[in-house]
Amino acid sequence: MHHSIDQLFTLNNGIIMPSLGLGVLFAQNDGEVENAVISALEAGYRKIDTASAYQNEEGVGRGITKSGIDRKDIFLTTKVWNSEQGYDNTLRAFDQSLERLQTDYIDLYLIHWPVKDKYKETYKAMQQLYAEGRARAIGVCNFSIEQLEDLMAHSDIVPALNQVEMHPHLSQYKLKEFTDRNNIQLEAWRPIMMGEVLDITELVDIGKLHGKSAVQVALRWLIQRGVSVIPKSVNPERILANAKVYDFVLTPDQMEIIHSLNQDRHLGEDLSHVE
């Protein structure tokens, strides 16, 4: 172990989750994703975030198996895609994900996007999987406050987590206040803005004071706010560097400077209407 990813967050059902994980969007379902998973696990990561839509669950499963690390020591997330939503479809999609990942349970199962007329039925199926113990926690991605309220009004289990785009140009204040009040963990995708953070002078300057990169500062800022992060990379050096965010602390002034960078700017697309 080169360092420790020792900061854990507790989900609203008492399940413990690492504050940092590896995202594998765009990683090819061959040696590429497999090696990324192995590199991350060797670097001390214990959380891997994939999705049915990424079409690389098999490679993730192989990487986990080859790493030699016990499945019970790994926190594995996957997601149900838009075209797989609805009650029966979700149960089927979950079984297919299990098969591809070569596992008999998922630590966190998420709705990938809020498909308007389907997400409540999808979530009912997920509640069933949770009751069976096959999904240790269930949640959503890319849900607005209104959609969360709607879902919570029609279901028995408050989502454990909402994974959304979140970074220095999109700080998601209002959503964070809402999820804090309702004990829903927030998790950031695209936390380093596909590398754009390297061009943000304020982040570079704060990094210099700590001997850290702008990428590490952006990740640290989110973790210090109580937001979990899943930076994606297939490069072993970057995977390692992304995890070196636990040996420094941003000052209140530095946190404030980063807060001031918010532009409510989305880099990602809204795929809630994509089938």
Catalytic center residues: 54
Closest C-alpha among 222, 168, 172, 171 to residue 196: 168
DSSP letter string, 184-230: -EEEEESTTGGGGGGG-HHHHHHHHHHT--HHHHHHHHHHHTT-EE-
Question: Could you tell me if 245 and 219 are in contact, meaning their C-beta atoms sit under 8 angstroms apart?
Answer: yes
- What phi and psi, each to the nearest 5 degrees, are found at residue 107? -75, -35
Query: Around Cβ 73, how many Cβ atoms within 10 Å?
Result: 9
Query: In angstroms, rounded to a whole number, what is the distance separating the alpha carbons of residues 20 and 145?
Result: 24
Q: Which are the contacts of 96, defined by CB distance < 8 A and separation ≥ 6? A: 52
What is the sign, positive or negative, of the torsion defined by CA atoms of 206, 162, 77, 28?
A: negative
Q: Which helix (H) or strand (E) holds 75?
A: strand 75-80
Tokens linked to 102: 């070569």
